[in-house]
Chains A and B, each alone.
Chain A
Amino acid sequence: MALVTALAARSRRCDVTGLKVDWHAETLIKVNAVVAVVCFLVGLVAAFGLVLTRWQAVHLLPADLFYRFLTLHGLNMLIFFIIFFEMAVLYFAGPVLLSARVPAPKLGWAAFGLMVVGVLMVNTMVLGGKADVLFTSYPPLMAHPLYYLGIILFAVGALVVTCLFFAALVVAKRERTYEGSIPLVSFGALTAAIIAVITLLHGAAIYIPTFLWSLGVMNMDPQIYRMVWWGLGHSSQQINVAAQVSLWYLLAGLTVGGVVLNEKISRMAFVLYILFISMASAHHLLVDPGMGPAWKIWNTSYAMYLAVLASMVHGFTVPAGIEMGQRLRGYTRGAFEWLKKAPWSDPGFSGTALSVVIFGFFGGITGVTIGTEQINIIAHNTLRVPGHFHTTVVGGTALAFMAVTYYVLPLIFRKRVRFWGLAKIQPYLFGLGIVIFAMSLIFQGIFGVPRRHWDISMSNAPFQVEYHPAVQLFQATMGIGGLLAIAGGLAYILIAVATVFFGRPFRLEDSHDRTGVPQGIWNLPPQVHTGAAVAAVHRRGSPGTIVLIGIFFGCFVLYYFANWKILSFLWKVG
């Protein structure tokens, strides 16, 4: 009994949402989010060096530093920043959303410690020049054994947090902290956690043998490595997708009272992500010598594109849910009043909207296209590939994380966001920068410009390579877009750090001064609607979203078949 009272004292009731917030959950959210931002800063510094080196007119770094920064950038952005943030999301979507406690909080702290040690080991090895193997570390390229060990420790920590999330769901259910089914956001986070387990098992299956190989204990087949490694590398991006889509649903609710059109459809779409993720490894092996066409076609399409179907479903239900939520709040005129009257100066909302568009429109269309078996022939290892994933992972996932930060700071850290004027434009700056940057990469890639390349003037090569003059233009736009995105990223870090350490406390009573807190927190939109109005809105549907999704679909079809057309002009090969 004493234990129960002690635990009860270590929680508070959120005065905005009414949720019970466990002290351990809240603190673990804070520390994981802070470390995530630190890793983001490391990745951002590296990004600055990379952009200004690939921009041949500047060509800042020498070759060895360029590849070192490239390794650093990939690991800190794609793995450390994103996974630390996802750990925070799991503590939020489990214990907080279900008003439950964190079971075994000490284990949560131990896992956090393990992950931090892993990050320090990896970054020390990379910066010390002991691991110039890029993010993918394809054997026979070899890094120092401690590099692989650091990644293993990090992964074990992440696996522990994932298991704690599952345990939190079980405990919440048993202690009846909620009624009915778990909310859709928690369900999405659950799928992300399940995908994380599958991903981390692939990680163990590849990094443990690779660690042993680096110690000279066993052999490593370069093609098998590529297949299993991408079982980790691509699946981890599916964790991001599931986590980010969950955040879209969360922010749709918090910012404008977006509703769930249909729980069945949205949840089935999440389940589709789980079923087919491991197959996405094939996206990276389409022009590899180790696999045949049947394997490539079946796997690259996630068994007939069922994971793509899932994203196309969310791509409709999220905006349609926002539209319906807005219509229920009275914005019913025409097809687009709901969109025009949306809270565009709330960075939580603008960040979400941009994330949906950049991920779905730019990322989705380019990704499905270059992931086609034959079209990959004109895309593999060119700048089209990083062009694509900077729209999904950066414009999609990272921007969604930024958007939710503007709600996390007042709700979890209980601080008013500093530099509120800057915060209002930060998602636009970052989103615009990354779109210009990524599209510039894609256009260069169409002209054959390679990715992961220090010097496309090919100095000291035996034969000259002259790229199309248009490449120079896209080089400049890449530089400008990249610098804009970096400025947006720095603004985010500045705002987050200044708020956490120097922010004014936020209390809901002080509503006469609204600076630094998003509108959705001052006036939380209704999260539940009942009555005849709901029936009327359901009958009307979401005409605005239908128009938007029609434009998306038209562009998708056009881009996809244009690429087949380009392919058909090339040398016959087969």
Chain B
Amino acid sequence: MEHTEAHSAIVSPQGTWWRPAGRQEKIWVSIAFVWCLILFAMMPFWHFKGGQNPSGIRAKVNPQDFAARVEKFIADYKVGEDNGVAVVAPPPGSHIYMAGQMWRWYPVLKLKEGAQYTLHLSSLDINHGFNLFPVNLNFQIVPGYDYGLKIVPNKSGDFRVVCNEFCGIGHHMMVGKVVVD
């Protein structure tokens, strides 16, 4: 069909404008649509084939209860202190805990390379952001919610936990530590 009329977007189109698109437009819309399907399919695909997913074990938890779990965890596996923060060395395969609180992450975790742990994260007061530095893994820490993530450290070294959700005037002092050997 021949187009013999063209107008700009400030002109009221007359008559029937519901017409078939041009060839180039059709091709581009098709390519874009297929690309959108690929973008979509990548996410379920990674759940089956990839190693990094934000699913975790998710549950509601009262902040006091979470604090009690952290204290018990520290009491069970404490091996020392680092800058006034308790250091714990839990056995591979265990459930481990880290709490965010204005303005500290505790305890310091000592983990084994290649071992799997279930890391439970929660906040005792307001929102915090868990950033494992320099690996650059990031999770939102919401008070009242327990985020239990299965993690496998793949490299030994000294890591930091930086808070990256605004949590008040001392936000920048909120740095925790993870050691992998």
Does any Cβ of B come within 8 Å of A454's Cβ? yes
Whether A265 contacts B29 in the complex (CB less than 8 A), given A183-B10, A546-B24, comes out as yes
A166 shortest CB reach to chain B, Å: 18
Q: Is the beta-carbon distance between B51 and A573 smaller than 8 angstroms?
A: yes
With CB as the reference atom, state the residue of chain A lying closest to B172: A455
A289 to B40, CA, bound (A): 22
Separation of A396 and B45 alpha carbons in the complex (Å) = 32
In the complex, the answer to whether B6 meets A568 with C-beta atoms within 8 Å is: no
Check A450 against B50 for contact (C-beta < 8 Å).
Answer: no
Are A317 and B25 neighbours in the complex by a CB distance under 8 Å? yes
- Note all chain A residues with C-beta closer than 8 A to B162: 448, 450, 458, 465
Is B73 located at the chain interface by the 8 A CB criterion?
Answer: no
Q: Smallest CB–CB gap between B52 and chain A, Å? A: 5
Contact between B172 and A530, CB atoms less than 8 A apart: no
- Most chain B C-beta atoms within 10 Å of own C-beta, residue among A262, A286, A325, A376: A262
A309 touches B12 (CB 8 A): no
Q: Is the CB of A305 within 8 A of B36?
A: yes
- Contact stretch, chosen from A29-37, A102-110, A146-154, A377-385: A377-385
**Given A324-B6, A560-B39, A568-B51: A453 touches B138 (CB 8 Å cut-off):** no
In the assembled complex, the Cα of A181 lies from the Cα of B43 at a distance in Å of: 41
Is the C-beta of A320 less than 8 angstroms from some C-beta in chain B? yes
- 0/1 string, A252-286, CB within 8 A of B gives 1: 11100111111111100000000000000000011
Q: B144 contacts which chain A residues (CB < 8 A)? A: 221-223
A179 within 8 A of B: yes
> How many A-B residue pairs lie within 8 Å, measured between CB atoms?
356
CB distance A574 to B55 under 8 Å? yes
Assembly CA distance A215 to B49 (angstroms) = 49
Q: How far is the CA of A293 from the CA of B134 in the complex (A)?
A: 26
Q: Contacts A185-B9, A305-B39: A376 and B164 contacting too (C-beta < 8 A)?
A: no
User: A266 CA to B13 CA in the complex, in Å?
Assistant: 13
Q: Are A574 and B51 in contact (CB under 8 A)?
A: yes
Residues of B within 8 A of A185 (CB): 9-10
CA distance A556 to B34 in the complex (A): 14
Q: B113-155, CB under 8 A of A: which get 1 and which 0?
A: 0001000011001110101111111111111111101111111
Interface size on B, residues (CB 8 A): 96
- Judge if A567 is at the interface, Cβ distance under 8 Å: yes
A462 touches B127 (CB 8 A): no
CA distance A288 to B122 in the complex (A): 11
* Contact for B176 among A291, A297, A463, A464, CB less than 8 A: A463
Is A183 within 8 A of B19, CB to CB? no
Q: Mark B2-43, 1 if CB is under 8 A from A, else 0.
A: 111111111111110111011111001101110111011011
Q: Is A5 an interface residue (CB 8 A)?
A: no
The minimal Cβ–Cβ distance linking B18 to chain A, given in whole angstroms, is 5
Contact flags A398-433 to B (C-beta < 8 A → 1, else 0)? 000000000000000000000000000000000000
A265 to B44, CA, bound (A): 30
A:104-159 near B, CB below 8 Å? 132, 134, 138-141
A508 at the interface (CB under 8 A from B): no
Does B56 have its Cβ within 8 Å of any Cβ on chain A?
Answer: yes
**Chain B residue at smallest Cβ distance from A246:** B9
CA distance A574 to B118 in the complex (A): 9
CA distance A453 to B52 in the complex (A): 26
Q: For the complex, is B53 an interface residue (Cβ under 8 Å from A)?
A: yes
CB distance from A324 to the nearest CB of B (A): 7
Q: Which A residues are closer than 8 A to B by beta carbons?
A: 17, 63-64, 67, 70, 97, 132, 134, 138-141, 178-185, 188, 221-223, 226, 246, 249-250, 252-254, 257-266, 285-293, 296-297, 300-301, 304-306, 308-309, 312-313, 316-317, 320-321, 324-325, 328, 368, 372-374, 376-382, 446-448, 450-456, 458-465, 467-468, 527-532, 534-535, 537-538, 541-542, 546, 549, 553, 556-557, 560, 564, 567-568, 570-574
Question: Apart from A300-B43, A380-B139, A572-B152, what are 7 other A-B pairs with CB-CB below 8 Å?
Answer: A253-B10, A254-B8, A289-B147, A304-B40, A453-B166, A465-B133, A571-B137
A-B contact pairs, 25 of them (CB 8 A): A132-B168, A132-B169, A185-B9, A222-B127, A222-B142, A222-B143, A222-B144, A253-B10, A260-B6, A260-B7, A263-B19, A306-B36, A447-B136, A448-B134, A448-B162, A452-B165, A453-B164, A462-B84, A530-B5, A535-B4, A564-B42, A570-B52, A570-B154, A571-B155, A573-B137
4 closest residue pairs by CB, A with B:
A253-B8, A450-B164, A249-B9, A305-B36
